[in-house]
Every structure is written in structure tokens, then in C-alpha cells.
Chain A
């Protein structure tokens, strides 16, 4: 149980284009989903927290117009990287907190490797 999927697992795009990454909770409902970014050989950095049906809360220094987050249902959140540039290349990981589950526990997706040429 508590499986989180991400799609795509890997994406390569041209500079200036937009890329959408999906995060799904497969066997549970997620009231809250989180988006992280991981630079090579670094730890995970929280980008934003999204609650179903409301606007995402972005961490300091994260451009909300650059990284659009939508949490339209209890099992799906999307991250859209708009007008991507090579510096946006990174490993993006989402996580989800189960509705009614332990507040301190997040279930992580397998990550999406974004490469911007």
C-alpha cells in the first residue's frame, strides 16, 4: 500500500518549452502533496506544499510563476515547469500524505529526471 507514482520518469525538452510532471497516489487519497527538487549529489529541497482544492504554498525563493502546481483531486498533483531553461534541469520528487494517516509520514514517488537542452 501507499504507492506514489510519477510520470514521466524522464523527460528531455528544449529551452523555452513547458513541461508537466504528474504525481499520483495510487491506492490512497492524499490531502497534501509535496514537491521537492534534488540537485546532483545534494539533499532534497522542498519547493512547495499543495493541498487539494487550494493554492500551493511555495517555499522562500521558489518562483510560483515558474513552477505551477495544481492539486485538482485527492490523487493527483501536477508540477508544470514553464519556459524551462537549462538551470531547471534537476531531479523532481513528489510525496503525498495520506488522508487520515499519520501527519508526519510522507510517501515518496520515484522521481522525474528533467533535462533542459
Chain B
């Protein structure tokens, strides 16, 4: 079965410093993987998607993620945090024969001015 583990429930960074949100996946094959962002009381917005075309995936708002099969990781990064990046981030993997998706537990990113 496919699953994802988000290693940090809460990450706090200063504005202008790098962001690292960690996600490890469990799958018997190279899965598709997604990162979504959810701002307070809002729906989910797709940040980026990995589909095996390239291991480094660039997304919106300056975010990117690198798929590392050897480490079964798909960590989300951004070189410089902005106040507007403060939100909840979810790592997501398709499951149930691609009929469903499974969400990680989420990482709340706090950006300190």
C-alpha cells in the first residue's frame, strides 16, 4: 500500500531563510507524488506533482521538490521564505489503485518576520 509520512508537524522559519518540509513515501513502485498547500480556512492548492519525468520538480510560488528513490523521500524546499508562505502543507500519494489519494498528516509552516 502507498503511504506518506510527514516528519514534522510544525516548522518555523524566519522570513528570507530557506524552507524544508520533509516527506517520506512508502510504495512498492515509483509513485506519483504531490504537494498541496492549504491556507487558513481555504481549500487545497496544488503546488507541484512528480510523475517520474524528472526527479526535480518545480512548482508554483518558488517551491520545488526532489524525488529521491534511494531515500524514499520527496522533500519540499524553497530558497527564501515569504510571509505569504505561512500555511499547512500536505504531501499526497495516490492509493487504492489510483482511485484515491492518501494525505500525509500535514506540516504547518510558520514564517517569522
Contact = CB atoms under 8 A, between A and B. Distances in A.
Contact of B98 (A43, A103, A109): A103
Contacts, number: 46
A105 B34 CA distance: 9
A108 interface: yes
Interface residues of A, number: 23
B94 A108 contact: no
A12 interface: no
Interface string B93-110: 010001111011110100
Interface string A22-42: 000000000010100000011
Interface of B: 32, 34, 36, 41-46, 49, 90, 94, 98-101, 103-106, 108
26 contacts: A6-B43, A32-B99, A34-B100, A42-B106, A43-B103, A43-B104, A43-B105, A44-B44, A44-B103, A46-B101, A49-B99, A91-B41, A93-B43, A93-B44, A95-B44, A103-B99, A104-B94, A104-B101, A105-B49, A106-B101, A107-B46, A108-B46, A109-B43, A110-B42, A111-B42, A111-B43
Interface of A: 6, 32, 34, 41-44, 46, 49, 91, 93, 95, 102-111, 113
Interface pairs A-B: 10 shortest CB-CB: A110-B43, A104-B94, A108-B44, A104-B32, A103-B98, A111-B43, A43-B103, A44-B103, A104-B98, A43-B105
